Structure 1
Amino acid sequence: MKGRKNEDVRGSAMAYNVLLFADPGIDDSFAIMYALLNPHINLVGIVSGYGNTKKEQSVKNSAYLVELGGREDIPIIAGAAGPLSGEPVQYYPEIHGPEGLGPIRPPDSFQNIKVHDYNKILEIVNQYKGNLIIVNVGRLTELALMFILYGDNALKDITEFYIMGGAFLVPGNITAEAEANFYSDSIAARIVMEKAHNVHLYPLNITNRAIITPEMVEILAENSPTSFRPLLKPTFDYYFKAYQKNVPGIKGAPIHDVVPLMAITNPEIFKYIPRRVKVEEFGNAKGKSIADFRPKPDPEPLETLDYIGMEADIPKFVENFMEIFLKGDYEKK
């Protein structure tokens, strides 16, 4: 059951309370912008950790985006600096830029931002008890640490978890079989998929198809009334050039991390298969997501099943994406 809507802090519109775990990163940044602009999402906090950039840069990027959006009231929580395995972190400046926003560099004034620690997560969970959705679009280290530090019941009052991760019956994007969020901290991914409840998972099956084209971004760069307009084209162009090198012939770039946020407010766009998801932790298959897709899978307890997104109406995805960036700023004020 989807979380109850609350009155939006900005007015009479009804909105879902969302705590976002991210590692901006260009597509993470589009996800943050989308959440800030969507009138049906009440973003109550951002947990910002390593992934596409170092943790410190990730925190700075999140703070920059909420300031641009006029939402300095949203708490920024410092996440993890690396995976549970202790392995060195591999960053991807060729995809996201040296500071995570392509050619954009947040001003130095953000070096002294107020940053909260992990206890703020528990405070937010208790504040919105039974009426909060967690969306995770980065590595799963921070979510796993919540279970490790505070016990299996620490997040029992979360309504649902919406997670971008995994790849089923399609190639991975880090290895032949593994998607980046699951691969980069496979131990954390296994813990989260084992202990979290009411999980909606958005793997590469869907997110690889959530493509926005340069022509669409050109329209936004010329017509979006939002405060984010100056960022849209330069960040997207950088991201798109990286995809052109990695996927020859691609017509646009997949905005992976907007997908789970859109699924909250536009559930009719997506179709799911209920299966229990497991994650390989080590070896050549590290980070591989596994589910039983046989016509008659082995029976599993209903409470252990995850909802794997397997189909999406991409034209409707594009329509909603464009709509939010073309008028979302006005609707939220």
Structure 2
Amino acid sequence: MTRLIIDTDPGVDDAIAIAIAALHPGTDLLAVTTVFGNVGLEKTTRNALRILELCGRSDVPVAAGAAMPLVHPQARRDSSAHGDDGLSGHADVLPPTSREPVAGGAVALMASLLEQADEPVTIAPIGPLTNIAALLAAYPHLKPKIERLVIMGGALEGGNVSARAEFNVWSDPEAARRVLVADDVPSVLVPMDLTYRCAVDTEWMERLAASGRVGEALCALTPEYVRHYTGALGWPGMVVHDAVAIVEAITPGTLVTESLPLDVECSFGPSRGAVIADRRRQAQIDDTVPLDVRGRVNVAVDTDIDRLRALLLHGIQEKMDA
């Protein structure tokens, strides 16, 4: 049983990711915490509550976290892919909810759950890393309670929000550097390089829509998202970045990883938010001035793509008697 906290900024792909975790029988979803990102914090929090309502998981607590980055303002939202409501302009297909986020905020809720945990907990940050940076800074004594962080973010070869940067890391590079470079919690980074390779086509989406009530609603969230990614991919489909990370979080070993020293560019040049991986041999690294890194991060570099796509669908399919 994977004990899991998701930290997220829903987001169409976040919605699919949350649904997979919420419905997975081998996952104990302890909480969903929210952060600014694809849209503002009020909308990401409302979206998280309604996605859990769709999945019949109103038992899962939701707490709102950071509304802005640690240091510098976020330059822009990602409305081109996710629409003004974060869900491709179709958030109203989700059931309404009268539930409110829990008091105290995201960091306090994560800390409380870790304090209470009798087994290590996996945290899956699939938005900007602001909440996680704050958690690690404020509660360092709880780090042994974290099994690992499974982070969707970064791009080693080329970004989406700029030529070098991926959106989640670019939204708060200082927080990303705090988590990936300055700390020592075991981490898997799932970069855009791999998630693009795991993109799904319209046939996959038809199967999602036919899988049940939840799949049908999730598919109804995707029209603008699909339009955006059809232009990016060159064929009709979409990239489900965050869902790829969640599959690894709940099924460890799904993704093949490579241990790499990383750094995050925090300057205001054209590479702001870039993740820099040092792929030189260790002897070369040792013989030169090292990057200011705390060690290595397991970076996801490959997977069985057909199996991964099947796992994404399997995670959402409902039993006939549901």
Aligned residue in 2 for 1:152: 140
Aligned residue in 1 for 2:115: 126
SS at match of 1:188: helix
User: 2: distance between equivalents of 1:201 and 1:303?
Assistant: 15
Q: Deviations over 1:174-208 (max 9, x none)?
A: 11111111111000000011214111111112111
Aligned residue in 2 for 1:320: 311
Aligned residue in 1 for 2:67: 81
Deviation of the 1:145 alpha carbon: 1.2
Q: Is the 8 A contact 1:20 1:46 kept in 2?
A: yes
* Number of residues of Structure 1 aligned to a counterpart in Structure 2: 312
User: 2: distance between equivalents of 1:319 and 1:112?
Assistant: 33
Paired amino acid for 1:320: L
SS at match of 2:216: helix
Deviation of the 1:258 alpha carbon: 0.9
Aligned residue in 1 for 2:214: 228
Q: Which runs of 5+ in 2 are unaligned?
A: none
Percent identical pairs in the alignment equals: 27
Residues 291, 326 of structure 1: alpha-carbon distance in 2 compared, 3 angstrom cutoff: same
* Larger mean Cα displacement after TM superposition, 265-274 or 136-145: 265-274
Q: Is the 8 A contact 1:29 1:65 kept in 2?
A: yes
User: 1: distance between equivalents of 2:100 and 2:174?
Assistant: 31
Structure 1 residue 278 corresponds to structure 2 residue 278: no
Aligned residue in 2 for 1:139: 128
Aligned residue in 1 for 2:193: 205
Residues 111, 71 of structure 1: alpha-carbon distance in 2 compared, 3 angstrom cutoff: closer
User: 2: distance between equivalents of 1:85 and 1:102?
Assistant: 29
Deviation of the 1:108 alpha carbon: 9.4
User: 1: distance between equivalents of 2:233 and 2:192?
Assistant: 18
Paired amino acid for 2:108: N
Q: Is the 8 A contact 2:257 2:299 kept in 1?
A: yes
User: 1: distance between equivalents of 2:95 and 2:23?
Assistant: 25
Q: Is the 8 A contact 1:214 1:252 kept in 2?
A: yes
Q: Is the 8 A contact 1:103 1:234 kept in 2?
A: no
User: 1: distance between equivalents of 2:278 and 2:12?
Assistant: 33
Residues 25, 136 of structure 1: alpha-carbon distance in 2 compared, 3 angstrom cutoff: same
User: 2: distance between equivalents of 1:262 and 1:123?
Assistant: 25
SS at match of 1:228: helix
Give the superposed CA RMSD: 2.4
User: 2: distance between equivalents of 1:262 and 1:108?
Assistant: 25
Q: Deviations over 1:73-124 (max 9, x none)?
A: 1110111111112414511222112111113234795466243323221111
User: 2: distance between equivalents of 1:114 and 1:291?
Assistant: 37
Q: Is the 8 A contact 2:183 2:294 kept in 1?
A: no
Q: Which runs of 5+ in 1 are unaligned?
A: 1-14
1:98-137 mapped onto 2 (5 Å cutoff): 98-106=84-92, 110=97, 113-116=100-103, 117=105, 118-137=107-126
Deviation of the 1:71 alpha carbon: 1.2
Aligned residue in 2 for 1:190: 177
SS at match of 1:201: strand
Residues 70, 109 of structure 1: alpha-carbon distance in 2 compared, 3 angstrom cutoff: closer
